Structure 1
Amino acid sequence: MLSILGFLTIALFTYLVMSKRMIAFTAIIFVPIIFALIGGFGAKLPDMMEEGVLLVSKTAVLLLFAILYFGIMMDAGLFDPVSNKILKIAKGDPVKIAMGTAVLALLGALDGDGTTTYMIVCSAMLPIYRKLGMNPLVLATVSILSLGMVAGTTPWGGSATRAISILGLDPSHYFNPFLPTMLGCAVWILFTAYILGRIERKRIGAALIEQVAAAEMAATVQEAPARNTMLLWANFLLTVAIMVTLIMDVVPLFILFIIGFSLALIINYPKIEDQKRVIKEHAANAIPVVSLVLGAGIFTGILQGTKMVDHMAGDLVSVIPEALGPYFTIIIAIIGVPLSFFMSNDAFFFGAVPVLAKAAAQYGIHPVEVARASVVGQAIHLIGPTSAPLWVLIELIKSDLGKLQRFTFVWILLSAIVMIILLLATGAMSI
């Protein structure tokens, strides 16, 4: 009975979110409450929900201040010097342009927001692509891979945040062992950009490339506003200090970003009125995601408190051949690819991942490995119908969905395989 109620909870939640009959925040709260009441758990609901919210509270705080911090860094033009350097170095060579796009996209993806990254990369690089006649789908592919393999794996990125919160994990324990995989993914993305650039170089032809002078390229790009050099250096050093402290794991991540945001606010906006304005501006990006994480706490608190997840996991394990049990993390990574394409992140991480984690526990697999395996499909999610930033990208590059999916599909599948191999090779995911 509890297993049936659990599967009905997930099915109804997924249906309501994907059919856009309810937003994820309301569905993730009310759907489990309804089925818990049906199951006779009404008296225990307040305690279950409280425990769930407390479980995700640190992640919610981390997400809030990480979004605010990177929002200030973007406004301050922290990555502008990198963008300008890319344009000078490229000099009309499609290989350098594609690899420069990858560098810019990887840096932009650190803030975890797809729309922001697409806008930064497209504003800096699209004029060059058009001037040289390069295929803008190269830019799209490199940007999507950067978001899926970097933004989708950081604990302040929306995807990993969902996995961390719904499974009640410590963000540091999830992220630190993931760093070697992330660095390997960055190298893979640069290699992919190199291959795509060589294809474009051959297609365009050397004669045309030589005709495009660096001065002509620069003329197509909007002049960036003047920046305070001392301020840029201060922001750069602050960001480096945060990343070093993060890797050293000496301060909880949510405390680290609270302090980092406070310093960034004082450094960049000494006037109190400016500080108030900036917080209001970036809160619009942070609050919806943070509220969703807190809602996820209620969802997981109810599913765990009622033991629905335990019964669902038992049923799931019963249909998997026992010989495949030790390879369950790989199974999660593989099935997560098609599920991530068709399902919204809310439906996948809040609906499917808790069940997979409980099933994995039957084989002695820690939830943190399930979280790492669950983000493998994030790149393919970014070309799926439920990815909101996708439509921004399509509009920016003036393409259509079918063309973009056909161009990027093989590269994304290859990238998923590479990520699985890296996770296994670095020990972030075991078999």
Structure 2
Amino acid sequence: MNLAIIGFILIIILMFVLIGEKMSPPMAFIILPLIAAVVSGASIADISLYVNDGLASILNTAVLFLFSISFFTLMSEQGLFDPLVDFVISKVGNKITAIFIAVLLVSTVAHLDGSGASTYLIAIPAFKPIMDKLGVKPVVFLGTVTGLMAAMNIIPWGGPTIRAASVAGVEVSDLYSFILPAVVVMFLLAIINAVINSRRKREGSVDGNINIVDLAGDVTSEPKTSKGLYIYNLVVTLIMLALLFIDTGLPMHFIFMVAYAFAILGNFRSVKEQGKKIQEYGNNAIVMTMTLFAVGIFIGVIEGSGMVEAMATTIINALPEFIAPHTHWFLALFSVPLMMVLGTDAFYFALLPIVIGIVEPFGISASTVAATFLITGTYGTYISPTVAANYVGVSLAGTTIGEHIKANLPIMWAASIITLIAATLLGVVQF
């Protein structure tokens, strides 16, 4: 059977079982790609290679997830974030919108390193206690963060921009300067999204209005640790965050491993208690860690078998001939689902070069095509089930990847199309 057809069927079934919650993510990501590999005619040796390559690509993220979730669970349990929660609530009064704007500000700073995982790890634990107190649904909170991350994801030193610039053969700084007006639009859309989310009806509130001043002090009514231990936890966390932002050369997952080790040793004295807590925190992260390894199998199969490249080529060939001069624009309307289906690497390294080759004879420059794909495709990155960092986000927020897609895909896709239209009117994108 044609590889592209197998790939499309695999993606459709995967989305169906995840969004409809017909199958748990680990099982879906293990069983479905293996069936697809067998149907494609792959041998045992081929499948073994796909699986090994896929697992290798996901290993660091899985380790990061295991230790980061355990670390922040420990810190939350020990009350590290309670003073921050109490301070924010007491300062904003009844202005719930101000809290959502604060989420955007923290997410912006957290994403300066270009890492989606670190943004989730910093922004979500800091504000989740507040969101829980306000009755904000996890998918709404997560959607607010991802709306901002879409704009920050294409910073000049970010992976997508570097990929797009390399394919288009232009300087990264030149490409970013070119798309800057569209980036402003993206930040405005992130703010609008946050404001709308702040006014949505919340759980536990009939009319959606909650007097959050009454919550001030409730979160931290009783200290959970001694002052000395609190300062110790704060110092460990601040040092860890500093190392995440400073280019030390140390892997992010290793930084979390060391921070977690110091946190366990500082908070629990006896070996028996340490072992008990390690097991307890590990239980919280094990299911999602299994999911990440399963995602590795999925990625290994669809990339190693050539399904991704076949799907990209099929999509291009399916377009009517009269659309050829505007291929980049019409495909950009579907950038979000294309990003979710193809993944970041294939989106930029497989699909983008093909589109550039099609439209260049009609006077559309490679940088224009790169800009078009960059400002629209970024909205699909943080709702994609194949992006490992997203499992860090959904776990921290307390939701599932299926619920996240169901709730935020329409919003992100709409934002992508609005950005495309605005960028066209601003002259960033040429129709």
Task: Give the TM-score, by structure 1 length.
Answer: 0.60
1:9 corresponding residue in structure 2: 10
Out of 54, 62, 65, the residue aligned to residue 63 of structure 1 is 65
What displacement does 1:81 show?
A: 0.9
Q: Does 1:121 align with 2:130?
A: yes
CA pair 46-371 structure 1, distance change in 2 beyond 3 A: farther
What displacement does 1:80 show?
A: 0.9
Distance 1:363 1:110 in 2: 32
Out of 217, 230, 233, the residue aligned to residue 231 of structure 2 is 233
What displacement does 1:82 show?
A: 1.3
What displacement does 1:56 show?
A: 1.3
Alignment of 1:325-340 (within 5 A): 331=332, 335=334, 339=337
Distance 2:287 2:23 in 1: 14
Distance 2:382 2:49 in 1: 37
CA pair 243-416 structure 1, distance change in 2 beyond 3 A: farther
State the Cα deviation string for residues 23-56 of structure 1 (Å, max 9, x = none). 2211212222222222221242112211211121
What displacement does 1:272 show?
A: 2.0
Kindly indicate whether the alpha-carbon contact (under 8 Å) linking 1:113 and 1:151 is maintained by their aligned counterparts in 2: no
Distance 2:103 2:311 in 1: 43
State the Cα deviation string for residues 215-255 of structure 1 (Å, max 9, x = none). x7758777244432222222222222222222223211111
2:276 corresponding residue in structure 1: 277
Kindly indicate whether the alpha-carbon contact (under 8 Å) linking 1:115 and 1:392 is maintained by their aligned counterparts in 2: no
CA pair 30-80 structure 1, distance change in 2 beyond 3 A: same
1:84 corresponding residue in structure 2: 86
1:376 corresponding residue in structure 2: 379
Q: Does 1:265 align with 2:264?
A: yes
What displacement does 1:372 show?
A: 9.4
2:299 corresponding residue in structure 1: 300
1:223 corresponding residue in structure 2: 221
CA pair 420-146 structure 1, distance change in 2 beyond 3 A: farther
Distance 1:410 1:303 in 2: 27
Kindly indicate whether the alpha-carbon contact (under 8 Å) linking 1:145 and 1:379 is maintained by their aligned counterparts in 2: no
Q: Does 1:359 align with 2:332?
A: no
Q: Does 1:255 align with 2:254?
A: yes
Kindly indicate whether the alpha-carbon contact (under 8 Å) linking 1:102 and 1:146 is maintained by their aligned counterparts in 2: no
Q: Does 1:46 align with 2:48?
A: yes
Structure 2: state its 5+ residue gaps: 108-117, 159-175, 200-210, 357-365, 385-392, 424-431
CA pair 235-322 structure 1, distance change in 2 beyond 3 A: farther
2:35 corresponding residue in structure 1: 34
Kindly indicate whether the alpha-carbon contact (under 8 Å) linking 1:105 and 1:117 is maintained by their aligned counterparts in 2: no
What displacement does 1:280 show?
A: 2.2
SS of aligned partner of 2:379 = coil
Kindly indicate whether the alpha-carbon contact (under 8 Å) linking 1:326 and 1:363 is maintained by their aligned counterparts in 2: yes
CA pair 227-124 structure 1, distance change in 2 beyond 3 A: farther
Out of 145, 148, 169, the residue aligned to residue 146 of structure 2 is 148
CA pair 196-76 structure 1, distance change in 2 beyond 3 A: same
Distance 1:186 1:68 in 2: 32
What displacement does 1:306 show?
A: 1.8
Distance 1:412 1:4 in 2: 24
State the Cα deviation string for residues 289-348 of structure 1 (Å, max 9, x = none). 2111111111121222221221111112334655556679x92xx6465x59xxxxxxx8
Distance 1:185 1:239 in 2: 31
What displacement does 1:114 show?
A: 11
What displacement does 1:111 show?
A: 5.3
Distance 1:65 1:220 in 2: 29
Distance 2:317 2:71 in 1: 46
Distance 1:419 1:69 in 2: 40
CA pair 247-295 structure 1, distance change in 2 beyond 3 A: same
What displacement does 1:19 show?
A: 3.7
Letter in structure 1 aligned against 2:305: T
State the Cα deviation string for residues 238-275 of structure 1 (Å, max 9, x = none). 22222222222321111111112112221222322222
Q: What's the Cα RMSD here? A: 5.5
What displacement does 1:371 show?
A: 9.8
CA pair 59-308 structure 1, distance change in 2 beyond 3 A: same
State the Cα deviation string for residues 131-165 of structure 1 (Å, max 9, x = none). xxxxx79x996x3554434689999xxxx9xxxxx
1:311 corresponding residue in structure 2: 310
Structure 1: state its 5+ residue gaps: 127-135, 161-176, 199-211, 341-347, 382-386, 394-400, 423-431
Distance 2:297 2:87 in 1: 47
CA pair 319-236 structure 1, distance change in 2 beyond 3 A: farther
Distance 1:58 1:318 in 2: 37
Identity %: 20
Out of 241, 244, 248, the residue aligned to residue 243 of structure 1 is 241
Alignment of 1:124-143 (within 5 A): 124-125=133-134, 143=141
Alignment: residue pair count: 350
Kindly indicate whether the alpha-carbon contact (under 8 Å) linking 2:25 and 2:291 is maintained by their aligned counterparts in 1: yes
Kindly indicate whether the alpha-carbon contact (under 8 Å) linking 2:4 and 2:311 is maintained by their aligned counterparts in 1: yes
Kindly indicate whether the alpha-carbon contact (under 8 Å) linking 1:87 and 1:218 is maintained by their aligned counterparts in 2: yes
CA pair 254-15 structure 1, distance change in 2 beyond 3 A: same
1:164 corresponding residue in structure 2: none
SS of aligned partner of 1:60 = helix
State the Cα deviation string for residues 75-108 of structure 1 (Å, max 9, x = none). 1212111122234334x4x33x542465479779
Kindly indicate whether the alpha-carbon contact (under 8 Å) linking 1:66 and 1:257 is maintained by their aligned counterparts in 2: yes
Letter in structure 2 aligned against 1:75: E
